[in-house]
Amino acid sequence: MATTSRTALLTALALVASPLLVVQASAPAHATVSVFPVPTSNAGLGRIVTAPDGNMWFVEENANKIGRITPGGQISEFGLGEQTTEDSRVVDVDVAPDGKVWVVYDSGWSAARVDPAAGTGERFELGEFPYGGAVRVGPDGVAWITMNFDESGVIRIVPGQPFSWTDNAPECNDVLGEANDGTMWCQGGEADAQDTIVRLGPDANSGTTYPLPSDATYPNALTGGPVGSIWFTRSTSGSWLTSPRNGSIGYLDAATGATQIWSTGSRTAPQDLVRGPDNQMWFTNVGLSPGIGHISANGVGAISSIGNYEPTSLAFGPDGAIWFTDAKNNSIVRVTTDQLQTTNIDLGDGVTMASPPTTTPTPTPTPAPGARSVGALPKVKGITKVKRGRITVPVLCGRDVPGCSGRIGLETAKGSKALAKQKAYTVAAGKKARLKLKLSKKGLRLLRPGKVHKVRVELTAPGSRKVLVRRTIKVRRG
């Protein structure tokens, strides 16, 4: 039985307010590839994920730290406090819709929920055996953590409530992902069923198992995509003598159990997987041919190398570019997607992924002109007053993009009820704009005069409904 401790994280939370080290790496303006070395050497960089405020958080597995990099390239590192053993490692990180950072650390013995803005949080003791593995946070702010070692299962942590788990119901390996409908999926945990994936029940104590074609390759990542119920990457696991290989990527339809899978080649091993703002599925490729790949819903794609860099995990920043961790080179690297449209590495044999047409280049996921960004929502201090039925919201555009544009919306933080009609905006590079949103009649009714309300500001790219940046602010009428 796992237990929960509501004591402060002591060292860890103190350092959230005062980072160990902040480094600003310089990058050329409008650079297609920018490199940001991580201050701690041999940090063991792992998963990177984008927060609602546009910052990106990443794992420093070997350093007992998590890191944060801003869209401008400023890196901050945060220690995670006392470890059970000196060689304990940080396992995984994810960010909730409200911006809280969840991390599994201490080699899986502990988890933490950290509020970067307030410098407060909770530590959860997961127990000695089994260990915590992957963590994903659902749209409701509930964290799901896989547990493995002799016994296997999933913990579901609701903030403010005690938690427990039941072993082997269902069994999951440490591959966990969220589908578009908010359901969680994992790789099957039984020794003879690791070529299966499991859709978890809402209580984390049940699940439905789906078999994948058995070909000695196993899932590496799971996430929602433009079609199907869940997308996955697969490859052989590799060993200290051999590199992972025989990669593929595909999706499963839960209604029928049918799969659509494309081979990316015998020399490939797709790993981390995210859905891009262009509805392409983007992935890191490790092993013999390191790089970044993408594939469409109809199987057209490419894998490209990025110089001598070896991507570990990737995320899309608010600027529309890809930011990836490189454990070997101990750096965070930013690359624009227009550099990744053609295959420039040896994929090996058996490729069924189709190449993009040479006459019509695949468009970049960011709106013209160039690699424009939606910008960022800086922190708003205090309470914003509603004046003449309007709420003013600042939007900041970085210096390293040609400009920022998109649509801004406003809704209640609780219940997600629209307060104003979405508004198009444009902000020049390096500038801050103060955008005024006119409340609708319904919005005025929802925001009662004299009372402080929490509202959520959201930025989307032109022509897209996917929220790229969000921030919660406090407002008051009258």
pLDDT tens-digit series, residues 374-392: 888 888 888 999 998 999 9
SS3 (DSSP) at 337 = helix
**Among candidates 300, 219, 292, which has minimal Cα distance to 262?**
300
| pLDDT at residue 335, rounded to an integer | 96
Residues 46, 169, single domain; the answer is yes
pLDDT tens-digit series, residues 208-250: 999 998 777 889 999 999 999 999 999 987 766 678 889 999 9
Task: Look at residue 372 and tell me if it is in a domain.
Answer: no
Q: What is the CATH number of the domain that holds 467?
A: 2.60.40.1930
Output the CA torsion 331→334→337→343 (10° steps). Answer: -20
- Cα(192)–Cα(173) distance, rounded to whole angstroms? 12
Q: Is the pLDDT of residue 135 over 60?
A: yes
- Which domain-ending residue is among 282, 312, 339? 339
- Mean of the pLDDT values across residues 419-440? 90
Residues 194, 58, single domain; the answer is yes
| Residue 18 CB contacts under 8 Å (≥ 6 apart), including other chains | none
Task: Look at residue 361 and tell me if it is in a domain.
Answer: no
Residues 23, 87, single domain; the answer is yes
Residues 71, 202, single domain; the answer is yes
- Mean of the pLDDT values across residues 446-454? 89
Higher pLDDT, 69 or 426: 69
- Cα(169)–Cα(154) distance, rounded to whole angstroms? 8
Residues 93, 216, single domain; the answer is yes
Task: Look at residue 376 and tell me if it is in a domain.
Answer: no
Residues 326, 403, single domain; the answer is no
| 8 A C-beta contact, residue 189 and residue 148 | yes
| pLDDT at residue 246, rounded to an integer | 92
Q: What share of the chain has pLDDT > 70, as a percent?
A: 87
- Mean of the pLDDT values across residues 120-138? 87
| pLDDT at residue 192, rounded to an integer | 66
pTM, two decimal places: 0.73
Long-range Cβ contact pairs of 239-247 (< 8 A, separation 24 or more): 243/269, 243/286, 243/287, 243/288, 244/269, 244/286, 244/287, 245/269, 245/287, 245/288, 245/348, 246/215, 246/216, 246/217, 246/350, 247/217, 247/285, 247/287
CA 116 to each of CA 46, 163, 177, 216: distance values in angstroms, whole numbers, following the listed order:
20, 23, 24, 42
Task: Look at residue 271 and tell me if it is in a domain.
Answer: yes
Q: Is the pLDDT of residue 363 over 60?
A: no
Q: Is the pLDDT of residue 31 over 60?
A: no
Please provide the size of the chain in residues: 478
Task: Look at residue 375 and tell me if it is in a domain.
Answer: no
Asked, as a colleague might, if the bond just before 97 is cis with ω within 30 of 0, I would say no
Q: Is the pLDDT of residue 80 over 90?
A: no
Using 50, 70 and 90 to split pLDDT, how confident is the model at 134?
A: very high
- Which domain-ending residue is among 339, 362, 391? 339
| pLDDT at residue 18, rounded to an integer | 39
Q: Phi and psi dihedrals of 410, rounded to 5?
A: -140, 130
Residues 217, 307, single domain; the answer is yes
- Both tokens assigned to 29: 């303006």
| Residue 359 CB contacts under 8 Å (≥ 6 apart), including other chains | none
Q: Lowest-pLDDT range, 206-215, 292-301, 321-330? A: 206-215
Higher pLDDT, 11 or 242: 242
- Both tokens assigned to 147: 């547990």
Residues 278, 140, single domain; the answer is yes
| Residue 239 CB contacts under 8 Å (≥ 6 apart), including other chains | none
Residues 327, 397, single domain; the answer is no
Q: Is the pLDDT of residue 45 over 50?
A: yes
DSSP state of 33: E
Task: Look at residue 345 and tell me if it is in a domain.
Answer: no
pLDDT tens-digit series, residues 260-297: 999 999 999 999 999 999 999 999 999 898 999 999 99
Q: Is the pLDDT of residue 88 over 60?
A: yes
CA 69 to each of CA 50, 55, 61, 66, 196: distance values in angstroms, whole numbers, following the listed order:
10, 6, 16, 10, 35
**Among candidates 151, 112, 113, 114, which has minimal Cα distance to 131?**
151
| pLDDT at residue 371, rounded to an integer | 45
Q: What is the mean pLDDT of the chain?
A: 86
Higher pLDDT, 9 or 399: 399
- Mean of the pLDDT values across residues 127-131? 78
| Domain count across the chain | 2
Which H helix or E strand runs over 443?
A: helix 441-446
- Cα(246)–Cα(242) distance, rounded to whole angstroms? 12
Strands of 191-241, DSSP E: 196-200, 207-211, 218-223, 230-235
- Cα(152)–Cα(150) distance, rounded to whole angstroms? 7
| pLDDT at residue 19, rounded to an integer | 52
- Which domain-ending residue is among 285, 319, 339? 339
Instruction: State the CB neighbour count (10 A cutoff) for residue 431.
Output: 14
Residues 163, 51, single domain; the answer is yes
- Mean of the pLDDT values across residues 413-439? 88
Q: Is the pLDDT of residue 101 over 60?
A: yes
Residues 147, 270, single domain; the answer is yes
Q: Lowest-pLDDT range, 234-238, 357-361, 468-472? A: 357-361
Instruction: State the CB neighbour count (10 A cutoff) for residue 159.
Output: 16
Query: Which residue range is the domain that position 134 belongs to?
Result: 11-339
pLDDT tens-digit series, residues 167-205: 767 788 889 999 999 999 999 877 666 789 999 999 888
Residues 446, 335, single domain; the answer is no
Task: Look at residue 366 and tell me if it is in a domain.
Answer: no
| pLDDT at residue 333, rounded to an integer | 97
Which is it for strands 467-477 and 383-386: parallel, antiparallel or unpaired? parallel
Task: Look at residue 365 and tell me if it is in a domain.
Answer: no
| pLDDT at residue 23, rounded to an integer | 54
Higher pLDDT, 417 or 238: 417
- Cα(461)–Cα(193) distance, rounded to whole angstroms? 41
